[in-house]
Structure 1
Amino acid sequence: MSISMLKKILIGKPLKTSELGEQKLNKLKALAVLSSDALSSVAYGTEQILIVLATINVVAFWYSIPIAIGVLVLLTALILSYRQIIYAYPHGGGAYIVSRSNLGENPGLIAGGSLLVDYILTVAVSVSAGTDAITSAFPGLHNFKVIIACLLVVFITILNLRGVTESASVLAYPVYLFVFALLLLIGVGTWKIATGQVPADLHTPIGTAVPGISLFLLLRAFSSGCSALTGVEAISNAVPNFKEPAAKNAANTLLMMGVILAILFSGITFLAYWLGIVPKAEETVVSQIASEIFGRNLLYYFIQGTTALILVLAANTGFSAFPLLAVNLASDKYIPRMFLIRGDRLGYSNGIITLGIASIMLIIAFRGEVEHLIPLYAVGVFIPFTLSQSGMIVKWLREKPAGWLYKLTVNLIGALISLTVVIIFFTTKFSQVWSVLIFLPVIVFVFHRIKHHYEAVGEQLRIHPNEESLKLEGNVVIVPVAGITKVVENSLNYARLIGDTVIPVYVAFDRESEKRMEEKWKEWKPDIRLVTLYSQYRSIMKPLARFIDLAEEKAAENKYTLTVLIPQFITKKRWHDILHNQSGLLLRLYLLYQKNVIVTTVPYRLKK
């Protein structure tokens, strides 16, 4: 099977550029694609709060309720803030565009770099958490979780390479099934609590004194709970993916996501508190709640199955937002231009593939441990949150549109809370997030170096009207030859067509072969003078390079172009290449990067 056939089977047949409009998303599909990360974080947000509180005592678990209320306040501020960003910047880009436009280049690059890394972490965390849900239901698979996670990333990468609408169609069902499953779990659990079917003594009453509790620990638990808010910004980055009116549809989708997220997070936190759930390494909190409410029956496996699906497919938020953010950065020349190219299915395939490879490397490096990835993941989100809200404050103060005081207040509250969360992260979890202080400056430095390169290239390629171009008098063609063959004959014939002077060059490893070649050449092509070079160390490159250097100097003096024409025979089958020396290819690579000459290859195709 050929590579092109395999590609068509995995990714699908190429789409025409004119079909781009058909790849836009309606609100229901966009909610599935762009909200799956935020909604899925419900499965581990509450658990992260309880893990911190468990370091004191189970008596401290009642604090999960006020902490959850604090998280909901932050969620409300972020939803209102990002709705304003969507309307103010309807072309997408989110925190990067807002920060760069209002705060300056470096704040914009910090926001953009943070989000690029965060989307890689989104994929790694989501897939690792989904794998945990699978191994909670099937403990025998626990030792294979890294392999399972990597295979799932490959699956999602292929799904996204098939196109936005196709991945949305696949994702819609698991996302809505997950929402239904958790609403069913919360509904049945609340009903059992209300009707007295669940004992009231499984939890510590709210307000119970907890020896050893501290503000430091509560802030640490709050920052862990804020992991439930990751992914909120994805919709503002991907506004161009929506059907028209794009901004209105994106804002409404963001509101729907916020309402669903608030209900699910509140319900899971309340049930975990009431049932006295204690976090376990081998079983997730959602699994324990489902087991308590339904027992290990079909409904339990339905809950676990949909949770695992949403956690794995939540990675799709990263695959939707990362390529679009990369497009904005590449348009501004901060990352390679290859991220601007659309693939066969009209998606930005280079961004998708880069994200898939990077997330697999991260999963392997951290062995799929969610609790080690989440602090980096969360702090990577809240830095752009803070910068984007601050950027909007500057925008409203500068422009003062109608109703600007309300808008300013919303963004000011969002900025202050986000900044507080960032400070809490660095204060309470410095040992886990210190690397952010290293990789963010490195990323910004790399961005600047890439832009400097593009600007330098542009300056060198730009045509200046008043600048005189160098007029050349002719073309000298050097043809390296390895013997007297049809390949060489074919190359010499072409060299005569393009060159005023043709100089065949032969490198001999001993004097006898040098003499034999000169004699044969005089009989074969007496009208073309052969230059022979002796290489006592059996190197082709060095004597050729020295000869080309001399020819280059002479050509410059006489205003001649110097061309090195490399004869190359092409084998009928690819595997035949390994049976032949690739000296022509090596010489081409050497000359392209080392010498100021034109390099041309003349192919001669073998028929058998």
Structure 2
Amino acid sequence: MPSRLKRLLIGRPMKSTELELEKLSKLKALAVLSSDALSSVAYGTEQILIVLVTAGFAAIWYSIPISLAVLGLLLILILSYRQTIFSYPAGGGAYIVAKDNLGVSTGLLAGGSLLVDYILTVAVSSSAGTDAITSAFPALHDDRVLIALTMILFLTIMNLRGITESASVLAIPVYLFVIAIFVLIVSGVFKYITGGIHAEVPEIGTAVSNVSLFLLLKAFSSGCSALTGVEAVSNAIPNFRPPAERNAAATLVMMGTILGTMFIGISLLAYWYGIKPDPENTVVSQIAAATFGRGILYYAVQGVTALILFLAANTAYSAFPLLAFMLAKDKYMPNAFMIRGDRLGFSNGIIFLGIFSAILVTAFDGHTENLIPLYAVGVFIPFTLSQLGMMVRWLKLKTSGWVFRFAINTIGMLTTLAITLIFIFTKFNQVWTVFVFLPIVILLFFQIHRHYMNIASELRINMQQDKPVIKGSTIVVPVAGITRVVMNSLSYAKSLTENVVAVYVGFDDDDIERMEKKWEEWNPGVRLITLRSSYRSIIRPIMKFIETVEWKTAETDHITVLIPQFITKHWWHYILHNQTSLLLRAYLFNQKDVVIATVPYHLQR
């Protein structure tokens, strides 16, 4: 049953030779890897306005110059990550750049930040998508967590089916969102030009007494949440069709162009309409209602906005498993993250991402505003380290035109560092958990790496000196009576060696005498050792006996404990048997020089 359900949800297994068919074209990659960045249009302007309105409605005109500053930073990031793509075509983004140029510890900081960021991406996207739905249908507000968890489950299953299949399905709503937002912007601009907008808004340049530089910087840093996801393309270069780096660079430029246009368009409309942030009605929802009324076009915009916000998480589902693979390849994450599943994706990374993001959504009760600061800090740390790493690279290599490239990365590094610091100082009470969690993640990386290095050192052999040691074999078979299961186990043991000992534990002398008499009558050609247990324990006497045998024969023989075990016809029968064998096996695992083997006996009824 579990196998059939898996095939229904995930699809048929794919051959390793089909891996090339899983590579993405530019259009599919734009949908899969840009959905996070493009979806941030739905809340980027809103985050700016939330900060500005604290100084009064007259301060909302500052959203326009702040939005232009965000666009400037977007341009710098696009140019910078385009350079990263051609410099590191194997992918890995900030992790590889920082590790290569700034050292392993810094690389792990970037990698750990990105992993945390991708988990937050899924949590934020699903929460923001729920916001869009509850804005259109307020009655669903109390079910926000359930809606978000359902979407995370859907995306996890879709990505387990393979990157190409998920791209084919998910590309449609992404492009529908882009079309819907452009229709909204064009309609809104047309309405503004024709005088259809009558909102009274403060003119650009109006003096506002209580607006400080600190407030503007805080609003700018909040607006930069619209840039999250820009780095995903440089992380996932191996997912592109060849020539991978050229296709990745072209996709990055397309994403930047579309994102910049939509972001400034929404910011302008929000200003012209005099939109104020509303916890239960998003800025895009208010703009769509003011432009189209609450008719079919409004619900169409809200529908595709909700979809893109949910599907923004798909960027993380594409990038997280690849980054986890690279960290695992460098022995900083479990080897399980290097394994491709039935559909050629890194299934363990996908499942891990889905589980942890679901935990976050539940813990924060699906409130986007509580998650975005964590999300933004998680992405701007790698932004800063990536820029700094590229600066060091240009200083080392000094290739043709390196001064211009170095200048771009320097401006980007200083800007992203300033944004990171602003987030830390202005929203420390919301982001402090990142600074607790990140050191734990990095410490875990080092512990995993140390373990793998120790294991490699312990298992490594000298080809010239180390040879297999040939010993004899002593097999100990614990028996509970004379049954077909015991006969089956003894038959197998005697096929391996003549040195077989059966061990029986009795609780009183009569019990032991009966067993010895039956064994003598049966005469299987195997010596029976009977042990008396005064405290009704089966495990302890057997363990003491095995330790004695091990001590006497360690130099000459391998000790193998052969444990008979029932294999039941129905799964629920299993709980009625095998408790003693399971306990014995658990105890024996701690014995250094004892081999544990199981002889299954399949029951027919």
1:536-574 Cα shifts (integer Å, max 9, x gaps) = 222222221111111111122x32111000011211121
1:334 and 1:450 in contact (8 A); partners too: yes
Task: Name the counterpart of 1:572.
Answer: 569
1:22-37 matches, cutoff 5 A: 22-37=21-36
Q: Which of 296, 308, 317 is 1:310 aligned to?
A: 308
- Cα offset, 1:33, TM superposition: 0.2
Per the alignment, residue 14 of structure 2 pairs with 15
Query: Partner amino acid for 2:7?
Result: K
CA distance in 2, matches of 1:47, 1:258: 20
Q: Paired residue for 1:267?
A: 265
Amino acid at match of 1:59: A
- Contact 1:34–1:316 (CA<8 Å) still a contact in 2? yes
Structure 2 SS opposite 1:55: helix
Query: Equivalent of 2:532, from 508, 531, 534?
Result: 534
Q: Which residue of 1 aligns with 2:478?
A: 480
In structure 2, the partner of 1:54 is 53
Matches within 5 A, 1:442-453: 442-453=440-451
CA distance in 1, matches of 2:117, 2:107: 15
State the shift of 1:181 in Å.
Answer: 0.5
Question: Match of 1:351, as an amino acid?
Answer: G
Q: Does 1:116 align with 2:115?
A: yes
Taking the aligned partners of 1:516 and 1:484, their CA distance within structure 2 comes to: 11
- Among 328, 331, 340, the alignment partner of 1:330 is 328
Task: Determine which of 334, 344, 347 is the counterpart of 2:345.
Answer: 347
Q: Is the 8 A contact 2:566 2:577 kept in 1?
A: no
Q: Which residue of 2 aligns with 1:162?
A: 161
Query: Percent identity of the aligned residues?
Result: 61
1:245 maps to which of 237, 240, 243? 243
The one of 596, 599, 603 equivalent to 2:596 is: 599
Aligned counterparts, 1:167-566, within 5 A: 167-199=166-198, 201-469=199-467, 471-525=469-523, 527-556=525-554, 558-566=555-563
Q: What is the aligned partner in structure 2 of residue 128 from structure 1?
A: 127
Structure 2 distance, partners of 1:507, 1:223, is 72
Q: CA deviation at 1:453?
A: 0.7
Kindly state the Cα deviation for residue 466 of structure 1 after the two structures are TM-superposed.
4.1
Q: How does 1:33-48 map to 2 (within 5 A)?
A: 33-48=32-47
**1:555, 1:54 → 2: CA distance?**
82
State which drifts further: 274-283 or 581-590: 581-590
SS of aligned partner of 2:478 = strand
CA contact (8 A) 1:474 1:500 kept: no
Is contact 2:31-2:167 (8 Å) kept? Answer: yes
Deviation of residue 509 (structure 1)? 2.4
Residue matched to 1:86: 85
Gaps of 5+ in 2: none
CA distance in 2, matches of 1:350, 1:280: 39
Show CA shifts across 1:405-431 (max 9, x none).
Answer: 111111111111111111111111111
Instruction: Report the TM-score when normalising by structure 2.
Output: 0.98
Equivalent residue number for residue 581 of structure 2: 584
Partner of 1:139: 138
State the alpha-carbon separation in 2 of the partners of residues 597 and 60 from structure 1.
76
TM-score normalised according to structure 1 size: 0.98
- C-alpha distance in 2 between matches for 1:599 and 1:98: 47
Cα offset for 1:479? 0.5
Paired AA for residue 372 in structure 1: N
CA distance in 2, matches of 1:589, 1:345: 35
Q: Is the 8 A contact 2:31 2:174 kept in 1?
A: yes
Instruction: Please identify, of 510-519 and 408-417, the stretch whose mean Cα deviation from structure 2 is larger.
Output: 510-519
State the SS of the aligned residue for 2:590: helix
Task: Return the alpha-carbon distance in structure 2 between the equivalents of residues 295 and 453 of structure 1.
Answer: 61
Displacement after TM superposition at 1:468 (Å)? 4.1
**In structure 2, C-alpha distance between the alignment counterparts of 1:189 and 1:546, rounded to whole Å:** 84
Shift of 1:581: 3.9
Counterpart Cα distance in 1 of 2:260 and 2:424: 26
Deviation at residue 592 of structure 1 after TM alignment? 2.1
Secondary structure in structure 1 of the residue aligned to 2:32: helix
- The answer on whether the counterparts of 1:488 and 1:567 sit within 8 Å (CA) in structure 2 is yes
* CA spacing shift, 1:500–1:473, aligned 2, 3 Å: farther
Equivalenced residues, count: 605
Q: Contact 1:335 / 1:451 at 8 angstroms: preserved in 2?
A: yes
For residues 455 and 376 of structure 1, the distance between their equivalents in structure 2, rounded to whole angstroms, comes to 33
Contact 1:472/1:561 (<8 A) preserved: no
SS of 1:477's equivalent?
Answer: strand
Given that 1:471 and 1:559 are in contact with CA atoms closer than 8 Å, whether structure 2 keeps it comes out as no
Pairwise CA distance, 1:510? 2.7
| CA offset digits 1:256-300 (Å, max 9, x no partner) | 000000010001111111111111111111000100111000100
Q: What amino acid is aligned across from residue 563 of structure 1 in structure 2?
A: T
Q: State whether residues 566 and 578 of structure 2, in contact with CA within 8 Å, keep that contact through their aligned partners in structure 1.
A: no
Distance of 2:389 and 2:181 partners within structure 1: 36
Residues 43 and 286, structure 1, Cα contact 8 Å, conserved in 2: yes
Asked whether the 8 Å contact 2:45–2:267 carries over to 1, the reply is: yes
Kept in 1: contact 2:28–2:171 (CA 8 A): yes
Give, in whole Å, the separation in 2 of the partners of 1:535 and 1:161.
53
User: Does the 8 Å contact 2:52/2:60 carry over to 1?
Assistant: yes
Following superposition, the deviation at residue 470 of structure 1 comes to 6.2
Question: What is the distance in 2 between the residues matched to 1:302 and 1:569?
Answer: 60
Q: State the alpha-carbon separation in 2 of the partners of residues 448 and 394 from structure 1.
A: 24
What whole-Å deviation, never above 9, does each CA across 1:286-332 have from its counterpart, x for those lacking one?
A: 00010011100010001000100100011100000000001100100
State the alpha-carbon separation in 2 of the partners of residues 359 and 466 from structure 1: 50
Shift of 1:594: 3.6
Tell me which amino acid in the other structure corresponds to 1:453: H
In the TM superposition, residue 481 of structure 1 has moved relative to its aligned partner by 0.6
Structure 1 portions without partners, runs of 5+: none
Q: Distance in 2 between matches of 1:182 and 1:205?
A: 25
Give matches, 1:60-99, under 5 Å: 60-99=59-98
Q: Name which of structure 1's ranges 214-223 and 187-196 shifts more when overlaid on structure 2.
A: 214-223
How many angstroms does 1:526 deviate by?
6.5
Deviation at 1:191, TM superposition (A): 0.8
Q: Deviations over 1:163-186 (max 9, x none)?
A: 111111111111111011011111
8 Å CA contact 2:565–2:578 kept in 1: the answer is no
How far 1:520 sits from its partner (Å)?
Answer: 1.2
TM-fit CA distance, 1:56 = 2.1
